[in-house]
């Protein structure tokens, strides 16, 4: 099953016999607070207009636990995540489509968590809200409680040690911007650089200018050029497991299974005992 869905396909499914549950996961990584500007408010954006029937999901509160030593967006409590999904109407026998403001990162985080915890049918709206050409709604739905019971998978998740090992034995992609990978700039975390052995693969290169994913064949060619060949174990990390989820989604579109290091650079760089590589070379 495809991991993404176009706006036209979504419109058709919403008119069908088993329409998908819609999750609005608008979120942005923002450093505006440091300059005195108000942070991005996804709930306010949702209130101003959303896909009809969509339920707002708060990434920071429902798709992650409190920031700390495990990173800025650690895994959420599984029971709490399941309760949040059921409140949104998520059931195991009904498809789910997540979308955000167009960047795709936050929607991919919801997609990855639902897939990792066992939901069989979840996709991301390709291009996000900007791709939707039909009218929006300001009505806040009250969905019937879902029955989704999360059951975390035995694979698909990396910790710091697993990421370090995969960088040596397989392929570990760093989904952040190239300048952060190289250690030339680090606006958020304690130090710049990358996990030794990781390959720079900015997630922004997986999409077109309008935020839609490149065709599957082009994505496969890109990842093959970066070193992911058939049969390789592949993992991804980013700053805090959000844009990395988007790269895992891009790999899924390309037909390449990949694991996510959720703690990512925000966890790795907070431990001074862990090695840091800088420059364009993986090592």
Known catalytic membership, residue 238 = yes
**Of these residues, 5, 22, 238, 253, which one is catalytic?**
238
CA 114 to each of CA 92, 110, 272: distance values in angstroms, whole numbers, following the listed order: 10, 6, 33
The catalytic site residues sit at: 238
């Amino acid at each position: 099953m495809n991991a993404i869905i176009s706006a036209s396909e979504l419109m058709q499914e919403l008119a069908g016999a088993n329409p998908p549950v819609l999750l609005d996961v608008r979120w942005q990584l923002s450093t505006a607070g440091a300059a005195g500007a108000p942070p991005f408010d996804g709930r306010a954006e949702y209130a101003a207009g959303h896909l009809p029937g969509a339920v707002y999901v708060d990434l920071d509160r429902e798709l992650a636990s409190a920031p700390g030593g495990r990173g800025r967006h650690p895994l959420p409590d599984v029971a709490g995540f399941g309760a949040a999904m059921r409140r949104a109407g998520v059931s195991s026998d009904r498809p789910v489509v997540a979308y955000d403001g167009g960047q795709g990162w936050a929607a991919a985080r919801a997609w990855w968590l639902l897939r990792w915890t066992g939901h069989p049918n979840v996709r991301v709206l390709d291009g996000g809200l900007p791709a939707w050409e039909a009218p929006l709604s300001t009505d806040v739905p009250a969905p019937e409680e879902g029955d989704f019971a999360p059951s975390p998978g035995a694979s698909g998740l990396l910790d710091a040690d697993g990421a370090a090992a995969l960088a040596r034995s397989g392929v570990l992609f760093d989904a952040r911007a190239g300048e952060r990978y190289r250690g030339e700039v680090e606006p958020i975390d304690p130090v710049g650089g990358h996990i030794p052995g990781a390959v720079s693969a900015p997630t922004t290169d997986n999409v077109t200018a309008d935020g839609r994913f490149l065709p599957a064949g082009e994505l496969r060619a890109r990842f093959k050029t970066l070193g992911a060949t058939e049969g390789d174990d592949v993992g991804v990390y980013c700053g805090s497991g959000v844009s990395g989820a988007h790269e895992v989604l891009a790999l899924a579109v390309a037909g390449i299974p990949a694991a996510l290091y959720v703690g990512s650079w925000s966890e790795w760089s907070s431990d001074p005992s862990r090695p840091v590589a800088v420059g364009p070379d993986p090592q």
